[in-house]
């Protein structure tokens, strides 16, 4: 894939987020759905970052509904939607639903006011303006339109029982890749799996509909066989035949991509994909993800930089960063780690849980960066790219 100009997507651009949930109800489930929504909306209204929501019924088909919600920014929404609280809150609604699909949009322009209260709106504008100072968002509080590459990036992470790492790596490396074509508009472009100790990270790149692609993959016999083989080794148990158990597992395993950037210009030859594991100190995960996103955004303007493409994934106090590098990462460890600039290595060191990586002390120079890079590097298990990607 080549790019004439830089590609950039970010959850840290300071803009408000609009979430649309398309719902198709089972016959006779309307009242149960409305009762469940009433309980859910009062709870969601108390969440940090939530500005307001609407419930809409289709004018053509009464079984089809639309729930819209607005959030101060993407991070608080992502923290909630991938939490156990979210699973418990939406649980009563699940039994009413035949199908649902969620899509999310950054608000780039608008006419008129918002549905939020004046106090909520003021709080949202204040936070958006504050975020804009550090992420480059437009001065009016709206995110500038970004150039995309047509791909959705997502990751799943989970841990396996200590002592089972080699067996798990063998299982994950041995499966046959699923059919990349999902439907006329959706393709599975790339799947890459890494391990760091007993933690597994699976990243996917999808063209089209992410949910459709994930559902397609889960139905493939070869993938199902791998997932069943993994079950005895997982630290968190699951039953893939129980929709609620499977939904809870994959919700809590989700690692959304919070930032992606591809440098402009022709793609260098010899690109290799690496994953870096950044466990954060308690409560510092979001700050660490934001720091790495800012570093990657700045580095994309340097044609001589070591990283051509980077994606930051985040949940709770765990950050994983994918980097595509044309040469040896150790040739420029500071740049590959995302720690270039005055005091940036020291800030990175303060946010990281060094003990979890086996690296103690501050990051003060290239020697420390080389050591940190070695400890943060994840082991590549498999990397499957669809033809034509």
DSSP character string of 292-361: HHHHHHHHTT-TTSS-SEEEEEEETTEEEEEEEESS-GGGSHHHHHT--STTHHHHHHHHB-HHHHT--S
Residue 178 resides in a domain: no
Domain boundary among the residues 90, 106, 135 is at: 135
Query: CATH number of the domain that 273 lies in?
Result: 3.30.70
pLDDT-above-90 percentage for the chain: 63
Confidence of residue 388 (pLDDT cuts 50, 70, 90): low
Residue 286 resides in a domain: yes
Farthest CA pair distance, the chain: 66
Question: What does the mean pLDDT of the chain come to?
Answer: 88
Residue 213 resides in a domain: no
Residue 219 resides in a domain: no
Confidence of residue 173 (pLDDT cuts 50, 70, 90): very high
161: Cα within 13 Å, side-chain hemisphere: 10
Residue 323 resides in a domain: yes
Domain boundary among the residues 111, 135, 159 is at: 135
Q: pLDDT tens-digit profile of 185-244?
A: 999 999 999 999 999 999 999 999 888 888 888 888 888 889 999 999 999 999 888 888
Bridging pattern class, strands 7-10 and 254-262: antiparallel
| Residue 361, phi-psi category: left (phi > 0), alpha (psi -120 to 50), beta (remainder) | left
Question: Which of 126-130, 166-170, 320-324, 382-386 is predicted least confidently?
Answer: 126-130
Residue 128 resides in a domain: yes
- Nearest Cα to Cα of residue 293 among 107, 74, 113: 74
* pTM reported for the whole predicted model: 0.88
Q: pLDDT tens-digit profile of 314-368?
A: 999 999 999 999 999 999 999 999 999 888 988 999 999 999 999 877 788 788 8
* Structural domain for 332, as ranges: 257-380
Residue 329 resides in a domain: yes
Residue 231 resides in a domain: no
Looking at residue 133, its pLDDT comes to 39
Total of domains in the chain: 2
Domain boundary among the residues 103, 135, 167 is at: 135
Stretch 106-119: mean pLDDT: 67
């Amino acid at each position: 894939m080549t790019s004439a100009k830089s590609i950039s997507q970010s959850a840290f651009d300071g803009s408000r987020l609009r979430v649309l949930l398309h719902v198709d109800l089972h016959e006779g489930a309307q009242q149960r759905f409305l009762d469940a929504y009433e309980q859910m909306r009062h709870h969601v209204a108390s969440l940090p970052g939530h500005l307001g929501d609407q419930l809409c019924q289709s004018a053509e088909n009464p079984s089809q509904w639309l729930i819209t919600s607005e959030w101060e920014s993407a991070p608080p929404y992502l923290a909630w939607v991938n939490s156990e609280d979210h699973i418990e809150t939406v649980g009563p609604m699940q039994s009413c639903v035949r199908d649902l699909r969620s899509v999310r949009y950054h608000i780039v322009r608008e006419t008129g006011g918002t549905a939020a209260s004046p106090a909520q709106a003021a709080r949202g504008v204040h936070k958006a303006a504050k975020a804009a100072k550090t992420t480059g968002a437009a001065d009016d509080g709206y995110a500038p339109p970004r150039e995309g590459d047509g791909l959705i990036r997502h990751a799943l992470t989970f841990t396996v029982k200590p002592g089972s790492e080699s067996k798990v790596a063998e299982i994950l490396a041995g499966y046959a890749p699923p059919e990349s074509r999902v439907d006329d508009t959706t393709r599975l472009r790339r799947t890459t799996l890494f391990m760091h100790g007993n933690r597994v990270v699976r990243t996917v790149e999808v063209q089209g509909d992410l949910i459709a692609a994930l559902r397609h993959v889960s139905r493939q016999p070869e993938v199902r066989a791998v997932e069943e083989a993994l079950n005895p080794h997982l630290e968190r148990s699951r039953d893939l035949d129980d929709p609620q158990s499977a939904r809870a597992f994959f919700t809590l395993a989700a690692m959304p991509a919070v930032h992606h950037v591809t440098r402009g210009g022709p793609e260098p030859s010899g690109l290799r994909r690496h994953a870096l594991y950044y466990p954060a100190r308690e409560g510092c995960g979001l700050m660490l993800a934001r720091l790495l996103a800012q570093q990657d955004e700045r580095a994309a303007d340097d044609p001589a930089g070591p990283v051509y493409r980077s994606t930051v994934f985040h949940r709770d106090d765990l950050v994983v960063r994918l980097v595509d590098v044309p040469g040896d990462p150790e040739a420029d460890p500071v740049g590959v780690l995302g720690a270039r600039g005055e005091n940036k290595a020291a800030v990175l060191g303060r946010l990281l849980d060094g003990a979890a990586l086996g690296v103690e002390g501050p990051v003060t120079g290239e020697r420390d960066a080389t050591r940190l890079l070695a400890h943060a590097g994840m082991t590549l298990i498999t990397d499957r790219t669809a033809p034509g990607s």
